[in-house]
Structure 1
């Protein structure tokens, strides 16, 4: 099975994959969020299987539980959680949403 949505988390401060970060995938349903899947990053910082093979067009978000990751590594952080909200317009496409993380900054982009 290949998920329609995948992610990859890199710890920019350490220059290494960010392992064992819990990631939640949710879909917007009016004014509420509906849980679709949950997984943790692997030894390469990736979540290869997160949710269904295809998702309907709409608004989705990934929530990364970064606080626990930084606590385990004994690093102070400003971001105990990172949320990335994104729009899916073409249900036939794959959506890779990477996160480049450090204790006091983060960035993201649409990957492939």
Structure 2
């Protein structure tokens, strides 16, 4: 079986995003369902996979990162309301036997992602 993992990279400071709250939702026809919440460690990663084993399955998902709270805690000077606050990455898992790594590369003004392994 595969697994789902993530990490956060703070491009403003050039370091891992430690202490970022992350929520994983499964997107169902009836709405989205919270699957798991976590907080990134000193390396900007969650200590355990977000999905693995029997919980790893095909479907549509969303990762929601509390980036605005992270930058506020870092003392970043940002306007209110924040330009980047909660970052939502909507993605699909087509093959539960593969590893899916969905990182967030973020600053108070921009973000990007990609599918890693």
TM over 0.5: yes
Map of 2:64 onto structure 1: 63
Cα distance between partner residues in 2 of 1:88 and 1:15: 29
Q: State whether residues 7 and 48 of structure 1, in contact with CA within 8 Å, keep that contact through their aligned partners in structure 2.
A: no
Cα distance between partner residues in 2 of 1:51 and 1:101: 20
Map of 2:73 onto structure 1: 72
Gaps of 5+ in 1: none
Q: State whether residues 65 and 86 of structure 2, in contact with CA within 8 Å, keep that contact through their aligned partners in structure 1.
A: yes
Describe how 1:21-100 pairs up with structure 2 within 5 A: 21-54=20-53, 55-75=56-76, 76=78, 77-100=82-105
Aligned partner of residue 96 in structure 2, secondary structure: coil
TM-score, normalization: structure 1?
0.91
Cα distance between partner residues in 1 of 2:47 and 2:6: 7
Give structure 1 regions of 4+ aligned residues with deviation exceeding 6 angstroms.
none
Cα distance between partner residues in 2 of 1:52 and 1:16: 25
Q: Deviations over 1:63-105 (max 9, x none)?
A: 0011110111121141111000001100111110011011100
State the aligned residue count: 111
